[in-house]
Structure 1
Amino acid sequence: MTTTRINGSLYTKIESNIATIEFGHPASNSFPSELLDRLTNEFNELSNNDEVAIIVLKSEGNKAFCAGASFDELVAITNLEEGKKFFSGFANVINAMRKCSKLIIGRVQGKTVGGGVGLVAACDYVFATEHASIKLSEFTIGIGPFVIAPAVKRKIGVSGLSELTLEATNWKNAYWAKEKGLYARVFESIDEMDREVDLLSLKLASYNPEALKEMKKAFWLDTENWDNLLIERAETSGKLVLSDHTKKALTKFIR
């Protein structure tokens, strides 16, 4: 079952010291601002929960993993303050994931666009199916993937980021994403992937929690400036979305 709630859904289950966060939205698991805020708060709370050793991030259903930020909210932006706030949604989530004291495993069952690629890049280890193609389509609406770029570049390098960004209408398949380092493992089926997610999660949850915590810090060394950087990038996107070029581009996508 997938959610029908217009602001989406977010559920967390804690079992065997593993917290599984599952988000959903009827529009291909996209994120309205309210849902992004809830996800940010969830990571912050789990970071301080001693009953949790590992976090698994997943989305509802067996189709798209995440279609990025809410398109309806994007087209409704009328001023810079609204624009900056809108684009800060993914900035806040990525920073919460970066600073979370727990290692985060991503479970990606299907296609992922825009901000969703940023979420995947902010995970510490990612399982995917061969249906988990990715695309950064921001150029097609007159903006760019500025907020998520640092997280994506950290995983796949400048060459991978530029290829994804400049080929804004092209999907890159899951094996391309694995070769570049975004995905750790790719599977033919969701069932096969889920078995391996469970196995690794249980193994990691059995390890010394202090070792896991220190390793998390090591993975994210030299990203301390992201608190400011990602918000600055959100302001850049907020300015661009108000431009005549972007407003005109967006009208092509409005039903």
Structure 2
Amino acid sequence: MATMFHHLSVDYRFENKIAVITLQRPQVRNALNAQLIQELTEVFTQLSVDEQLHGVILTGEGKAFCAGADINMMQEAISYTAAQNVEDALRLSDMLHAINTFPCPVIARVNGDTLGGGIGLIAVCDIVIAADNARMAFSEVKLGIAPAVISPYVLRKIGENMARVLFVTGERFSAARAHEIGLVHAVVPLEHLDDAVSRAVNELISGGPQAIRACKALALQVGQMNTENSRRYTAETIAHLRTSPEGQEGLRAFLEKRPPHFTVSSHGSKEK
């Protein structure tokens, strides 16, 4: 990737099948400022065209995952007009949308505390694995504001019932509680975090890359369709996959009791 980023890094692993995006503002606990928000939007937009990717890992450098909004950004917002505040919020919304709709799965490696907008980041990830020492909070209410922009994504994870408690109190809660309410999928000791992430990655890279993307699209879209649209969409999806080179290889491998050999051509099509 040719683009140079100041507040994040991009690394490729597992034969370039996985990209690792690391927030690199440890001195402010990886807090979100305007530049980091822009860089996250750009990096996920750029990576979205990489057909070889089976997934992306999003994590933070240092002891925190993301402490929410940067203090300097909050200070600037005090002097913004209503229109400027809308534009500022829309940029955050665009970043969350870029991650939420990213074609293949995004794994949040939650290495520490996650507050406010940081919870928005994990809410738009597909697989969330957290260290057991991580603490979380929708801390906006303590500042006289609300978790407005992140709320659509958070509500899909934790539901109205838990949001009505956690949004209004701003109370801190543990990774274990985050797991109980559906915000986090797995909680492990910090020293086992990389092992847990690696297990999730190994599951991803054992699947067909186009099938993985189709599965994510199903999870995102089918629940919002009416009966007829979902009937047509799901039938067309499975028909396309069954007749694709990737699907043909996967089905043959299953019948022949051997591992499938999924590859990606230079044009993104699947070949045996």
Secondary structure in 2 aligned to 1:192? Answer: helix
Give, in angstroms, the shift of residue 206 of structure 1: 2.5
Check conservation: 2:138, 2:167, Cα contact below 8 A: yes
CA offset digits 1:13-35 (Å, max 9, x no partner)? 11220011001212111011111
- Which position in structure 2 is the counterpart of 1:245? none
Query: What amino acid is the match of 1:59?
Result: G
Give the TM-score normalised by structure 1. 0.80
Structure 1 stretches of 4+ with a deviation exceeding 4 A read none
For 1:215 and 1:71, locate their aligned partners in 2 and report how far apart those are by CA, in whole Å.
39
Give, in angstroms, the shift of residue 8 of structure 1: 5.6
Secondary structure in 2 aligned to 1:126? Answer: strand
- Which position in structure 1 is the counterpart of 2:48? 47
1:141-180 matches, within 5 Å, as 141-168=143-170, 170-180=171-181
Identity of aligned residues (%): 30
Q: Which structure has more RCO (C-alpha within 8 Å, separation ≥ 6)?
A: 1
- Which position in structure 1 is the counterpart of 2:10? 12
For 2:23 and 2:122, locate their aligned partners in 1 and report how far apart those are by CA, in whole Å.
13
Check conservation: 1:130, 1:175, Cα contact below 8 A: yes
Check conservation: 1:66, 1:113, Cα contact below 8 A: yes
- Which position in structure 2 is the counterpart of 1:56? 57
Check conservation: 2:19, 2:53, Cα contact below 8 A: yes
- Which position in structure 2 is the counterpart of 1:220? 220
CA offset digits 1:136-190 (Å, max 9, x no partner)? 111122211110011111011111112111112x20111110001111110122x
1:185-204 matches, within 5 Å, as 185-189=186-190, 191-204=191-204
- Which position in structure 1 is the counterpart of 2:252? none
Give, in angstroms, the shift of residue 90 of structure 1: 2.4
For 2:12 and 2:35, locate their aligned partners in 1 and report how far apart those are by CA, in whole Å.
23
Check conservation: 2:40, 2:95, Cα contact below 8 A: yes
Check conservation: 2:115, 2:139, Cα contact below 8 A: yes
Check conservation: 1:14, 1:52, Cα contact below 8 A: no
For 1:198 and 1:216, locate their aligned partners in 2 and report how far apart those are by CA, in whole Å.
20
Gaps in structure 2 of 5+ consecutive residues: 226-272
Which of 138, 141, 162 lines up with 2:140 in the alignment?
Answer: 138
RMSD, matched Cα: 1.7
Cα 1:8–1:143, aligned 2, differ >3 Å: closer, same or farther?
A: farther
CA offset digits 1:55-80 (Å, max 9, x no partner)? 0100101x221111222112212212
- Which position in structure 2 is the counterpart of 1:81? 83
Give the TM-score normalised by structure 2. 0.75
Q: Greater Rg, structure 1 or structure 2?
A: 2
Which of 105, 108, 112 lines up with 1:106 in the alignment?
Answer: 108
Check conservation: 2:58, 2:109, Cα contact below 8 A: yes
For 2:68 and 2:87, locate their aligned partners in 1 and report how far apart those are by CA, in whole Å.
15
Check conservation: 1:107, 1:128, Cα contact below 8 A: yes
Query: What amino acid is the match of 1:192?
Result: H
Residues paired across the two proteins, number? 215
Check conservation: 2:107, 2:129, Cα contact below 8 A: yes
Check conservation: 2:108, 2:128, Cα contact below 8 A: yes
For 1:101 and 1:89, locate their aligned partners in 2 and report how far apart those are by CA, in whole Å.
20
Check conservation: 1:68, 1:113, Cα contact below 8 A: yes
1:23-38 matches, within 5 Å, as 23-25=23-25, 26-38=27-39
Gaps in structure 1 of 5+ consecutive residues: 1-6, 225-255
